[in-house]
């Protein structure tokens, strides 16, 4: 499958610019150093092995981004699933969770950290408040994060307080009645203490019109976020930090319509809300010639409500419409989760001559209580514990060659009980790690080869086990065999190049990878039309593979013009998977099937012009190929390409920015469902139903620093 024609034309233009760059003036602007902080030690991005994208503050501002979902299209082979008001799960290289309803999820395949604090499984809480940069690490991060990063990790790092007092206020307004106001302030509170606090309130009506209720805000955004940060240096060689995060999101959920438009007819719109309080802190102790000891601890308390109008229409919809009122039903499905989690991580880092090492111990505990209201009440209680020991050793073999070896052993146990009298306990042990060889033939070039293993524990398919007595007899054997799913492992082989060339005006990051998935945890669904029951479950597939290429490059063409490229190519395969095909109304074995939500091409091209120090403008094109929605049918999400732009003007300590995303108002979908949900045909015709992405959105931002 070939990329969009516009993408091919732009690629040719990009190659032409790179080819011509050697004739650019010698006074062109060098590219700045970027530091990655997600690993055990902070390292220069261009000296860090692994496929990593870093989105700085300027990139976030240019997109008018206030949430993680508005940034991920910049990074190659990174996707996300919506299914609510905000993105709920992230996929990297075709691996990642797609949805969550009744089943508890141990850990998402792609982890998300906010200032070192793990989000409680849901990416919708990843607001960008006072953010310094977003780091996207692709591939298993087993030694550092274990089961929290089977396919990768997103690390959102906020701004630290500085040595002098500084403050800012900001606000913005855009179409769809979108606005936000906020500010931040920080600096020293004494000789040993520095602090910074930031707050933002955001509102938007969203881009859904509800024709039945006569409202345009049933999928609105209503979010309040607060971040506090303390840095403490009480004694020489001893330092500490503390972060407080608070999020109150009261967002609506009313995304799907029977006619596949942005106009719905729901009489009971849902919600995608959560309230989260989180604390994270750490201590560092300099041990002199013995290195450094670090202690980090986090605690999170979250309440989440996720619900929707299941029939998407109103009571009486069939009156005057070509459908039999006997087929009409009215139903809502609401899930309320209360999550508490805590973690402790103790490690020792040291360097001695040609050697450097890390060793540590980790503990994580989580409680999750669920109440589901759907034709009656269902409750469950779920508790997990995770214990890990890990270590990493690096050796400088000579002046240009370095080897690193890391390993992590983890033990996992869980305890589950629900109101259907299902009670289970399980435990598992698994290991992950990596081996890397780094070769630096020149100061500006890094070549690396990495072998990495990741693992994610198995568990109980509670949606399947609770539905087993209710489904048609012909489905019971299939569902009963999937009451549990096993631990998945991923083995990643990766080779990469990072370099700075043309007097450091050109940076290139190139990676090629191949990933073997064993017992791949793939989301499957079964529709029992006789009993009107949808059964969701995680199914294990013995053999699956993902491989591809990722390229990121930035060229300072002149002092005024920079050109950015990010391209991802991905091939995925499921060797064999048994499903109940909705269209065939029969069991079917998928063979050599592409994985869901794994577009073959993803791309981003950006051109930025800075004619003066106080003026800059940019234009960017990004898009992706089509991809399968799921496995129990052959429906796909269409390919798409969008155009973004912005202009910024600065005067003294003030900045005014005008931005637009999807400037050409391209209609495309970010999520999809496939089943029969229309009473006008007696629920007899399976169709693709789409959750559309944002249309043209634009706004103006004002920021003042003092």
CATH of the domain at 184: 2.40.170.20
| C-alpha–C-alpha distance, residues 431 and 497, integer Å | 28
Backbone angles phi, psi at 126, to 5 degrees: -85, 70
Looking at the predicted structure, is the pLDDT value of residue 17 above 80? no
Looking at the predicted structure, is the pLDDT value of residue 16 above 70? no
Looking at the predicted structure, is the pLDDT value of residue 612 above 50? yes
**Are residues 577 and 681 in contact, defined by beta-carbon separation less than 8 angstroms?**
no
Residue 354 — left, alpha, or beta (φ > 0 → left; ψ -120 to 50 → alpha)? alpha
Percent of the chain with pLDDT over 70: 94
Q: Tell me the residue range of the domain where 253 lies.
A: 5-705
Query: How much is the pTM?
Result: 0.93
Residue, of 8 and 129, whose pLDDT is higher:
129
Per-residue pLDDT tens for 628-664?
999 999 999 999 999 999 999 999 999 999 999 999 9
Q: Where in 557-668 does DSSP place strands (E)?
A: 561-581, 586-593, 601-612, 615-624, 627-628, 636-637, 640-651, 654-661
Mean predicted confidence (pLDDT) in 19-41:
62
Tell me the pLDDT band of 420, cut-offs 50, 70 and 90.
Answer: confident
**Are residues 276 and 301 in contact, defined by beta-carbon separation less than 8 angstroms?**
yes
At 423 the pLDDT is 87
Tell me the pLDDT band of 19, cut-offs 50, 70 and 90.
Answer: very low
At 27 the pLDDT is 43
Residue, of 458 and 666, whose pLDDT is higher:
666
Looking at the predicted structure, is the pLDDT value of residue 3 above 70? no
Mean predicted confidence (pLDDT) in 94-118:
86
Query: What's the mean pLDDT when you consider all of the chain?
Result: 91
236 CB-near residues (< 8 Å, 6+ apart): 286
Per-residue pLDDT tens for 463-474?
788 788 888 999
Three-state secondary structure call for residue 13? helix
Per-residue pLDDT tens for 369-391?
999 998 889 899 999 999 999 99
If one counts every other C-beta atom within 10 angstroms of the C-beta of residue 591, the result is 10
Total domains, the chain: 1
Three-state secondary structure call for residue 16? helix
Looking at the predicted structure, is the pLDDT value of residue 44 above 50? yes
Tell me the pLDDT band of 206, cut-offs 50, 70 and 90.
Answer: very high
* Lowest-confidence region among 169-173, 196-200, 483-487: 483-487
If one counts every other C-beta atom within 10 angstroms of the C-beta of residue 706, the result is 11
At 270 the pLDDT is 95
Looking at the predicted structure, is the pLDDT value of residue 108 above 50? yes
Mean predicted confidence (pLDDT) in 474-502:
93
Backbone angles phi, psi at 101, to 5 degrees: -125, -100
Tell me the pLDDT band of 121, cut-offs 50, 70 and 90.
Answer: low
Looking at the predicted structure, is the pLDDT value of residue 13 above 60? no
| C-alpha–C-alpha distance, residues 299 and 116, integer Å | 11
- By CB neighbour count within 10 A (0-12 exposed, 13-18 middle, 19+ buried), where does 477 fall? exposed
Looking at the predicted structure, is the pLDDT value of residue 248 above 80? yes
Per-residue pLDDT tens for 295-314?
999 999 999 999 999 999 99
At 18 the pLDDT is 36
| C-alpha–C-alpha distance, residues 317 and 678, integer Å | 11
């Amino acid at each position: 499958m070939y990329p969009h024609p516009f993408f091919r034309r732009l690629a040719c233009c990009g190659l032409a610019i790179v080819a011509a760059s050697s004739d650019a003036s010698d006074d062109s602007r060098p590219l700045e150093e970027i530091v990655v902080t997600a690993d055990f030690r902070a390292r220069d991005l261009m000296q860090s092995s692994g496929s990593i994208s870093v989105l700085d503050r300027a990139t976030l501002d240019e997109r008018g981004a206030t949430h993680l979902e508005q940034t991920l299209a910049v990074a190659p082979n990174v996707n996300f699933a919506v299914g609510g008001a905000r993105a709920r799960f992230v996929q990297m290289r075709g691996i990642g969770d797609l949805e969550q309803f009744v089943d508890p999820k141990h850990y998402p395949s792609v982890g998300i950290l906010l200032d070192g604090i793990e989000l409680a499984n849901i990416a919708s809480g990843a607001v960008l408040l006072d953010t310094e940069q977003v780091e996207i690490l692709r591939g298993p991060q087993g030694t550092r994060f274990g089961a929290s990063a089977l396919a990768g990790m997103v690390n959102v790092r906020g701004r630290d307080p500085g040595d002098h007092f500084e403050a800012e206020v900001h606000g913005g307004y855009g179409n769809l009645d979108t606005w936000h106001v906020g500010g931040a302030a920080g600096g020293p509170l004494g000789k040993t203490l520095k602090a910074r606090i930031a707050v933002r309130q955001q509102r938007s009506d969203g881009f859904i019109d509800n024709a039945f209720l006569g409202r345009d805000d049933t999928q609105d955004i209503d979010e309040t976020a607060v971040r506090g940060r303390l840095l403490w240096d009480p004694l020489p060689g001893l330092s500490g930090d503390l972060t407080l995060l608070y999020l109150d999101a009261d967002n609506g959920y009313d995304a799907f319509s029977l006619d596949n438009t942005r106009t719905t007819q729901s009489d009971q719109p849902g919600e995608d809300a959560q309230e989260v309080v989180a604390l994270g802190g750490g201590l560092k102790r300099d041990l002199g010639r013995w290195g450094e000891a670090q202690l980090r601890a986090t605690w999170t308390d979250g309440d989440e409500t996720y619900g929707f109008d299941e029939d998407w229409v109103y009571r009486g919809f069939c009156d005057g419409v070509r459908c039999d009122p006997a087929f009409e039903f009215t139903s809502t499905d609401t899930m309320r989760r209360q999550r508490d989690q805590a973690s402790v991580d103790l490690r020792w880092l040291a360097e001695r001559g040609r050697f450097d090492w890390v060793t540590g111990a980790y503990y994580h505990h989580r409680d999750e209580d669920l109440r589901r209201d759907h034709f009656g009440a269902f409750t469950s209680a779920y508790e997990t514990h995770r214990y890990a020991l890990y270590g990493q050793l690096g050796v400088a073999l000579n002046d240009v060659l370095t080897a690193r070896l890391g390993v992590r052993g983890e033990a996992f146990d869980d305890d589950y009980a629900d109101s259907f009298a299902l009670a289970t306990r399980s435990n598992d042990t698994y290991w992950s790690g990596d081996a890397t060889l780094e070769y630096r033939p020149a100061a500006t070039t890094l070549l690396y080869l990495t072998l990495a293993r990741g693992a994610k524990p198995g568990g109980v398919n509670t949606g399947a086990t609770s539905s087993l007595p209710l489904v048609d007899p012909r489905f019971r054997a299939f569902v009963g065999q999937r009451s549990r799913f096993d631990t998945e492992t991923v083995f990643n082989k990766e080779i990469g190049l990072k370099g700075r060339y043309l007097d450091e005006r050109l940076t290139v990051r190139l990676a090629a990878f191949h990933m073997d998935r064993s017992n791949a945890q793939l989301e499957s669904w079964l529709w029992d039309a006789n009993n009107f029951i949808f059964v969701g479950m995680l199914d294990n597939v013995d053999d699956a593979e993902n491989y591809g290429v990722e390229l990121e490059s930035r060229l300072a063409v002149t002092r005024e013009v920079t050109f950015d490229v990010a391209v991802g190519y991905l091939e995925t395969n499921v060797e064999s998977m048994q499903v109940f095909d909705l269209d065939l109304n029969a069991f079917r074995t998928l063979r050599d099937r592409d994985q869901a939500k794994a577009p073959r091409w993803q791309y981003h091209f950006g051109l930025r012009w800075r004619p003066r120090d106080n003026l800059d403008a940019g234009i960017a094109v990004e898009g992706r190929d089509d991809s399968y929605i799921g496995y129990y049918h052959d429906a796909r999400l269409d390919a798409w390409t969008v155009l973004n732009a912005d202009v910024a003007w600065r005067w003294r300590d003030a900045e005014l920015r005008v931005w637009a995303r999807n400037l050409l108002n391209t209609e495309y979908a970010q999520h999809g469902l496939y089943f029969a949900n229309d009473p006008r045909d007696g629920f007899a015709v399976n169709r693709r139903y789409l959750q559309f992405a944002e249309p043209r959105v634009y706004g103006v931002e004002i920021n003042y620093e003092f």
